[in-house]
Structures are given as C-alpha cells and as structure tokens.
Amino acid sequence: MDSSGGADSGAREKAQEVAGQAQEKVQEAAGEAKNRVRDQVDQRSTDAGQRVQATASDIRGVGDELRKQGKDQPAKVADQVAERAERIGSYLERSDGDAILRDIEEFGRRQPWAVMLGGVALGFAASRMLKASSQRRQTQIQSFSGNGQGYQRELPRNAGVPQMAGV
C-alpha cells in the first residue's frame, strides 16, 4: 500500500511541475503580448501626434486668414482649437506606449461613464458603417442581376441535380 501512495505523490509532484511550467509559459506570452501592444501604441501615437500637429498648423493658418478678413471672433475660435490640437499632438508625440496606456486606465477609473459612452458611440458608428456597406453591396448585386446583361442567368429546373437512370 505504501508503494501506491508513493506513486500518487510522484504523480502529484509531476502534475504540479507541469502546471508551474504552463503558468510560466502563459505569463511569458502575456508579457510578450503586452510589449507588442505597448510598441504599437507608441509607434501609432507618435504618427498620430505628428498628423494632429500638422492639422493644428493648418487650423492656425485658417485663423490667420480669418483675421485678415476682419473676422476676429471665428479667428479666435480657430486659434483655440489649434492650441488644443497642438497640445494633444505634442502629448502623443512625446509619450511612450506605457504612459498612454496608464493615462487611459486612469481616465477609465475616474470617468467610467465616459468610457462606456465612448464604447457605445464606437459601436453605433461601426453598426452604421456595416449597414451602409451591406446596403451598397446589396444594391450592386441587384444592379448586376437585374440589368439584362446576363450576369445572372436562369438555370433549368433540374440543373445540378444528377439524374438516375430509369427513374
């Protein structure tokens, strides 16, 4: 009876060892995934920051043009928008992926309703885009099949059905 107890103990130890190795692999894969996400956020945020700053410069030019035309109030609004865009662009350019992800997490903790509403808005926008895309495809299919050009032709009633001899 002692020998079976020793076998049980050995099997448990082996199972614990395998479980420990599996846990290490999972943690390693999670770390690699987190690094890839951080790197992607870092790269894309830098690119986005440069584009936002270029847009801010364009908006500032619009403000200058409005000012030349004597439209001071709209020019002031354009300058304010340009200033905010420059701050956002600068933040995106100088911040690394970790800092941006940390800031997003903190914002989510402080403003959970804003995050939820943002998710709803993104979902709504995606559903509208998919619906429009689906309607466009449906219209194209109808125009191909109903234009008399022969894109869709009628097949005989028994086309594609093998015929049995003698039936």
Question: For 69-154, where are the alpha helices, taking DSSP H only?
Answer: 72-94, 97-110, 112-145
In tens, the pLDDT along 82-134 reads: 999 999 999 988 888 788 888 888 998 999 998 899 889 989 888 888 888 87
Residue 164's identity, in one-letter code, is M
On the question of pLDDT at 54 being above 70, the answer is: yes
Number of Cβ within a 10 Å radius of residue 45: 21
